[in-house]
Each structure stands twice: as C-alpha cells, then as structure tokens.
Amino acid sequence: MKASDHPVKPSRNMRSRPGNSPSRQPQHPSRELLTFMRAGIGTDLHRLIPGRKLILGGVRIPFAKGPAGHSDGDALTHAICDALLGAAALGDIGRHFPDTSSKWRGVSSLLFLRHARKLLQDAGYVIVNVDATVGLERPRLSPHIPLMQRKLARALGLGAGQVSVKAKTGEGVEAIGRGEAVRADAVALIVEMPRVESRKSKG
Ligand code: MG
C-alpha cells in the first residue's frame, strides 16, 4: 500500500517530517513484550604483562604480552558473561567463578560463558544478541574478530549474526593507549521464554 492510500489520515505533524508516511510509523511494543525484555552491561579490564598468552573471545592472539589474571584473563569473554548475568539479575562473574578458588586457575573463559548460558536457560531466558567492544592499543584485532565471534556464538548457542565484536585503540592515552591494559565492554539483550505450561494450567 502506498502512503497516499493509507486509510488513516496523517496528522499535520507527521506530514511535516520528510519520509514520515503514516505506514512507516513505528509501533510501540506491547506492555507484555517490554516486561519480557531485559538488558545487561558488562565491563572488564586486565593489566598486560610479559609472558602471558593474549586470549580474547577464546582466540589466542600472537603478542609478547598478555593479561594478568586468575583464569586465562579473557577480558572480552568476562565482559560478555557479566552482561548476560546482569541482564538476568544473576549476579556477576566473581560470584559464580571466584578467583579465590583454585578450580578456575588457568581455565578457558569460554567455560564461564557456557555456564552463564546454562544459568540463563535455567532461569527461563533466551539470549537475543550480544554486542562488545575491546580496547587494546596493539596488536590489531580486526583479523581475529570473525573467529572470536564464531567461538563466542558457539559457546552461547547463538547464530553468527547474534554476536558482535568491535575493536578500538586507546589513541595513545590512559592505560589502554599506553599498552598497559586490555579492556572490554559488552551489552546483552535477553527475553523471558513464554511459560506455556503455567499458562495452560491456569486455563
Ligand atoms: Mg576479568
């Protein structure tokens, strides 16, 4: 249907904005949908020291320095874990994987991500998407990003288009810019799964 054929007469305001035909007006999500949607944020920072492997998103990146940390120090995976746990109000990575426990020493952080996925699943949530940014001065991360996205998506049981990873340098300033640290920030969107059983039993 062309905008001019639309049965609802547009208001003067709508007409005054270019390209704002009534058929293109965004529909407000229903109250029910808004209740189901939850967002979470996660952030992580590790100091870079010589002699440690640099692992981000489960990918080993050749470099002379790597993150100090109890596990593999994968800041990207840690930030995504916190975003997911935060979206479900399930605490944070430190609560589920305390660095005082020898159980987690040197383990792959993808294991944390798989565990976070299970916690969300048990709590009745489905992951919609994850978006993350890594701050690192050197080396360049762009050649490694497709593999990071695939590994993260696999650990979370998601499709490739549901996980986004971006990289930024620190422009030579602060801890990132001076090459002293790696930082990651992530957001996650999750939705509550419809509770078919309980609705049926009510009816
Ligand atoms: Mg960390």
Q: Model-level pTM greater than 0.85?
A: no
For ligand 1, the distance from its centroid to the CA atom of residue 73, given in whole angstroms, is 5
Ligand 1: centre distance to CA 130 (Å): 17
Decide if 21 is inside a domain: no
DSSP 94-144: HHHS-TT-GGGTT--THHHHHHHHHHHHHTTEEEEEEEEEEE-SSS--GGG
Residue 129 falls inside a structural domain: yes
**Beta-sheet strand order (sheet of 125-135):** 65-67, 37-50, 181-192, 125-135, 163-168
CA of 57 to the centre of ligand 1 (A): 12
Give the range of the structural domain holding residue 58, as residue numbers without chain letter. Answer: 36-192
Residue 131 domain-assigned?
A: yes
Write the pLDDT tens digit of every residue in 177-187: 999 999 999 99
Q: Which domain CATH number covers 63? A: 3.30.1330.50
> What is the CA(66)–ligand 1 centre distance, in A?
12
State pLDDT tens for residues 2-31.
434 444 343 444 344 444 455 666 677 666
Q: Which parts of the chain register pLDDT below 70?
A: 1-26, 29-35, 195-203
Cα of 123 from ligand 1 centre, angstroms:
24
Task: Please state the domain count of the chain.
Answer: 1
Ligand 1 geometric centre to CA of 182 (Å): 10
* Residue 156 falls inside a structural domain: yes
